[in-house]
Structure 1
Amino acid sequence: MASLIEKAKNFVVEKVANMEKPEASLDDLDLKDLSRDGITYSAKVSVKNPYSASIPICQISFNFKSAGRVIASGTVPDPGSLMGNETTNLEVLMKVPHNVLITLVKDIGADWDIDYELDVGLTIDLPLIGDFTIPLAKKGQIKLPTLSDLFTNK
């Protein structure tokens, strides 16, 4: 009897492990908004849902780093659902205060950009499995706005 239960358990584990899961990609990072208290960046995340039913997104967490330091981090609680058999585009907004950017002067240097690393965790609620986090990461450079950009907007 114990071997039958063990075989059934292994069968279920194998089926769950081979079950198709949603796939996500971190597509783009852009400047979204300039204000007197900071700069808001927008990360674009695309998520493909292979199931016919919608899947709830529990939360999106992020760590935005530059020069080895976290310059913005946080979570987006309850950002909605992934539509069935579709690709859903999500936007993650990250606000970076100006005083944090000023501390990165060495990295900014003469080319007026910052090197960044962005880590995003997309947590979804999969049936039978429960909460499942899709880790995403992107590295690159972002051009900073000039002083004239700051005074012409808002």
Structure 2
Amino acid sequence: MAGLIDKAKEFVAEKIADIPIPEASIEDVGLKGVGKDGVTYNAIVAIMNPYSLSVPISEVSYVLKCDGRVILSGNMPDPGSIAGKETTKLDISMKVPHSIIVSLVRDIFRDWDIDYELELGLIVDLPVIGNFTIPLSCKGELKLPSIKDFFGGGDDEDKKD
């Protein structure tokens, strides 16, 4: 009897291993806006759904690190679904309080940006399998806002249209 159960487990494990899963990548991380209470950065994530039906995203968790320490963590519950047989773009906003940016003075004064590491966990609800986490991470530099960003200034070329 035990041998039959083991064979059944192996069969199910092999079938589940062959099931395609959505693939994701972080396309961009950048400045989204500046407010009185902090600076909002966003990450654009592209998620490809191999199924013909849409797949719900249960949650997105994020951790933003600078100089090896966590400066921001949080989650985005129920951000929507991934369209069937398409690539869906997801905009994940992260608000960093000014007080935290001030604590990064040493890194900021070197080159007026923050060297960061972003870790994301996309939890999708897959048919048959259930909740599945797609881990993503990237490293880069977040440019800090200038005085123009605080007072609504911008490039003159944008205003020509």
1:88 is aligned to: 88
1:61 and 2:61 equivalent?
A: yes
Between the aligned partners of 1:108 and 1:123, the Cα distance in structure 2 is 33
**Partners of 1:69 and 1:116 in 2: how far apart?**
10
Superposed CA RMSD = 1.3
Match of residue 117 from structure 1 = 117
3-state SS of paired residue (1:152): coil
5+ residue gaps, structure 2, are: 154-161
- String of CA shifts for 1:69-103, please: whole Å, max 9, x gaps: 22221110011111111111001000001111011
Aligned counterparts, 1:1-154, within 5 A: 1-152=1-152
> Structure 1: 5+ residue runs without aligned partners?
none
The aligned length equals: 153
For 2:143 and 2:100, how far apart are their aligned partners in 1? Answer: 15
Provide the rounded CA distance (Å) in 2 between the counterparts of 1:110 and 1:58.
39
Residues in 1 aligned to 2:60 and 2:96: alpha-carbon distance in whole angstroms: 18
1:107-131 Cα offsets, whole Å, 9 max, x none, are 1123111100000000001111111
CA distance in 2, matches of 1:116, 1:70: 10
Contact 2:37 2:97 in 1 (8 A): yes
Q: Tell me if structure 1 keeps the 8 A contact 2:63–2:118.
A: yes
In the alignment, residue 113 of structure 2 is paired with which amino acid? D
Q: How far is 1:2 from its partner?
A: 4.2
What TM-score do the two structures reach when normalised by structure 1? 0.93
Partners in 2 of 1:90 and 1:99 — Cα distance?
Answer: 28
Mean alpha-carbon deviation: is it higher for 115-124 or for 143-152? 143-152
Structure 1 residue 42: deviation in Å?
Answer: 0.7
Q: State how far apart, in whole Å, the 2-side matches of 1:33 and 1:151 are.
A: 11
**Runs of 4+ that moved beyond 3 A:** 1-5
Q: Distance in 1 between matches of 2:148 and 2:31?
A: 15
Q: Which amino acid aligns with 1:137?
A: S
- AA aligned to 2:76 is V
Q: Percent identity?
A: 56
Is 2:30–2:143's contact at 8 Å kept on the other side of the alignment?
A: no
TM-score by length of 2: 0.90
Please report how far the alpha carbon of residue 149 of structure 1 lies from its aligned counterpart in structure 2 after TM superposition.
Answer: 2.3
User: Which residue identity does 1:76 align to in structure 2?
Assistant: M
